[in-house]
Structure 1
Amino acid sequence: MGLETCGNCLSCLLIPLALWSIVVNILLYFPNGKTSYAASYQLPNYVWYFEGICFSGVMSFISIVLALLGIAFSGYNCIISALGLIQGPFCNSSTGWDYIFKDTAGGYLTDYSAWSRCTEPANIVEWNIILLSILIALSGLQMIICFLKVTAELKRTLCGTYSVFVQAGII
């Protein structure tokens, strides 16, 4: 497999990853498929950063610069998703709507008995853990692919297999 074919293959892999990131991020707006939480702004604050839609959805195809942007944007997606996972969901509990797990530093992730403290939306802890984990995995794959793309483009440019200069025709 030639370097150019590998670069094109990497670009093709970014398309479905970007589309899945967008879909998963949109699902975060509708816990359990219900629109009422989005309509009443009872969603976690990290959802409004649009990490999977705007940033992880940016695909790098042609140049090193775009691949570097892909690394940066995928990294942004990964960081925001991880912070959202650590913070925990915004949910209704006996004390009202709040981030009831915010002081656990992510410890709630393995304390399954504490998840029942979130009474609304139903199963919001599981919903957020699954979707944010998927976003972390997708953005990680995108960072790896974009890094490989940068490497392939740099090798192609620096090793002379990429025509940087346009040769003028002889008249």
Structure 2
Amino acid sequence: MCSGSFAKCLGITLIPLAIVCVLCNILLFFPSGKSVEKENITDEVWYFGGILGSGVLMLFPALVFLGLKNNDCCGCCGNESCGRRFAMLSSLLFAAVGVLGAGYSVIVSSVALNHGPKCVFNDTVMPQWGNPFSNGDYLSDPDLWSLCLAPEGIVSWNLSLFSVLLVMGVIQAALCAVQVVNGLLGALCGDCCCGGSDGAV
């Protein structure tokens, strides 16, 4: 498979992953599907790991990868393959942006999973909003989930959505890392579609 065609496949895969991450981050603003005061939303949600890191920043490499297959800048400098090679080389920069964005989302999700969500829990005086968990202890002991009195199901809600963000971020980072290798090969060896007699893949 040509390096440009392979990059296009990566771009097609990254777009739905980015959409899923944006939706997950938006859902996290509504704990258990309920509207709450902004100060009662888990802090890590405001870092926009899914919206910025795995969402907006991921669209740049995705669109660039999609355009590599149809790059028509062959023939520059008297060498019909140098334009395509330069395009593949420039895709490395966008792949790096994708890795950084996905890495940011993974870090935010990991921290959020470790800290746990904000919820209403019994304090020494009266129930109040806060975080009753510390250092990820609730992850290994589901019995602690009952500390959260409201919103109902908030622990599983946050755990599920941040886990999806974590997994999607890892997949996105891996795909962008693959494009780094693919881009290097395309830059060094040229795209097989460029300069062919019939332009076939």
The TM tier, using the shorter chain, reads: 0.7 to 0.9
The farther-off stretch of 79-88 and 110-119 is 110-119
State the one-letter code of the partner of 2:132: I
In 2, Cα distance between the equivalents of 1:106 and 1:41?
21
Task: Figure out how many residues of one structure are paired with residues of the other and give that number.
Answer: 158
Q: Find the aligned partners of 1:12 and 1:161 in 2 and give their Cα distance.
A: 19
Describe the superposition over 1:55-98 as per-residue Cα deviations: whole angstroms up to 9, x where unpaired.
11122132211110000010000000000000011111011222
What amino acid is aligned across from residue 69 of structure 1 in structure 2? V
Q: Deviations over 1:92-147 (max 9, x none)?
A: 10112221112xx2121121111011011111111111000000010011001111
Q: Distance in 1 between matches of 2:136 and 2:39?
A: 23
Q: 1:160, CA displacement in angstroms?
A: 3.4
What are the ranges of 5 or more consecutive residues in structure 1 without an aligned counterpart? 163-171
Q: Which residue of 1 aligns with 2:133?
A: 101
Partner of 1:11: 11
Judge conservation of contact 2:3–2:191 (CA < 8 Å) in 1. Answer: no
8 Å Cα contact 2:21/2:51 also seen in 1? yes
1:71 paired residue number = 99
Give the RMSD, CA atoms, in angstroms: 1.4
Taking the aligned partners of 2:151 and 2:49, their CA distance within structure 1 comes to: 22
Is residue 11 of structure 2 the alignment partner of residue 26 of structure 1? Answer: no
Question: Which of the residues 41, 44, 57 maps onto 2:42?
Answer: 44
Cα distance, 1:3 vs. partner? 2.0
Shift in Å, 1:53: 0.4
Map 1:142-161 to 2 at 5 A.
Answer: 142-161=172-191
Q: What's the counterpart of residue 167 of structure 1?
A: none
Shift, 1:40, TM fit:
4.4
- Give the fraction of aligned pairs with identical amino acids, expressed as a percent: 38
- The alpha-carbon distance between structure 1 residues 122 and 146, as it changes in their structure 2 partners (threshold 3 A), is same
TM-score (norm 1): 0.88
User: Compared with structure 1, are the counterparts of its residues 79 and 40 closer, same or farther at alpha carbon in structure 2 (3 Å cutoff)?
Assistant: closer
Where does residue 56 of structure 1 map in the other structure?
54
> Is the contact between residue 115 and residue 133 of structure 2 (CA under 8 Å) also seen in structure 1?
yes
